[in-house]
Amino acid sequence: MSKYQQVPYKERNHGTFEEEWLCHKKISEWWYATGYFYDENKKMYSFQFTLIKAHLFGMTPFIFMGAVTDIAADKHYYILRFNLTDGKIVISPEVVAFGDTAKVTKGNKNMRLEMHTNQFAVDLELDYKKGAFWHCDNGHLMMGVDKPNQTTYYYSYTNMPTKGTLTLNSQTYKVQGKSWFDKQGGPYKLTSRETQWEWFSLRFFDDEEMMLFTFPQDNYQDGTYITKDARSQRLQKYTVTPKKFVTVEGMKFSSEWHLSVPGLKEEEYDIIPLTSGQLNLTYFELLANILNKQGKQVGLCFAELLPGVRGKKIGSAAALFRKA
């Protein structure tokens, strides 16, 4: 039996971060975390946690996707779970859970993120540090096109010192690193090519961040720049230029980029993937180095890419359900 509270969706006059953490009526939304960490031997891993409430054809299925990637081995461990009946779903001010598989618990100073699967397990403490920030236009994001209801609300905890344990191949490791947690959702069309995106979350080693939400097929982009001292500003004047492309299961994605952000930080960067990337359901994801003009690594970037941006094939809702 599901246990979740629902609140109305407000396109612009949103509530607090705590209020928008809950489910919203008649929209799609997700709780999404990505991060990287190192074990005691300095071996690097990345992780992904995604709980989606999809609003499709009058139904609201919940989809959970979890992953751990061994960066050096370029090996991806991935789990996908689908729930149409809402059973064992918990969404409350303190807890987001998908049965016994995945859970996020909110405390006063940090979140606890857990994933338990046959392939891997993580138990992580994510410190709030700078706290949460509204993105783009005070939390309002136009999803590529200026049309009624093609919007989302969007906020993130962008800088979360992380520690805990990783269990992989029957061995448990102590790990430390950093995470980023998103809450986003809206009434936009899930199955429309024009609302598909390329997303970049740049996590600089100097404790500053950039979130870039781009819709190249619509010639639209938005974003946020967050300083070390926890000030944020809307960021729209930037250029992301793809340098390479890959094709995965017949779908085309960009896979290496040059970023120009005039007037901010060092202004010019190259974003170079650390792995070959992976297809999670119907989106492509990877972790990349951020290099400045001198070729020095100055941060790490997670990229999330949807297939409708670079090609007409976006995957039908029926195919999504079959795969899930």
Q: How far apart are CA 27 and CA 15, in angstroms?
A: 16
How far does CA 247 lie from the centroid of its chain?
21
- pLDDT attached to residue 317: 43
Q: Average pLDDT of the chain?
A: 93
Q: Which residues pair with 90 in a beta bridge?
A: 3, 97
**Pairing verdict, β 23-24 and 6-7:** parallel
Helix (H) or strand (E) holding 17: helix 17-20
- pLDDT attached to residue 191: 86
- pLDDT attached to residue 119: 94
- pLDDT attached to residue 319: 52
- pLDDT attached to residue 281: 85
Q: How far apart are CA 183 and CA 188, in angstroms?
A: 15
Share of the chain above pLDDT 90, in %: 83
Q: Residue 248 sits in a domain of what CATH number?
A: 2.40.370.10
Residue of 297, 45, 273 lying closest to 177 (CA atoms) = 45
Helix (H) or strand (E) holding 272: strand 268-273
- pLDDT attached to residue 86: 59
- pLDDT attached to residue 285: 96
Question: Which range marks the domain in which residue 190 is found?
Answer: 3-323
**Pairing verdict, β 110-116 and 102-106:** antiparallel
Is residue 93 scored above 90 in pLDDT? yes
Residue of 196, 181, 106 lying closest to 143 (CA atoms) = 196
**Pairing verdict, β 120-127 and 268-273:** unpaired
- pLDDT attached to residue 302: 98
The total number of structural domains in the chain stands at 1
Mean pLDDT of 95-109: 96
Q: How far apart are CA 288 and CA 233, in angstroms?
A: 24
Is residue 194 scored above 90 in pLDDT? yes
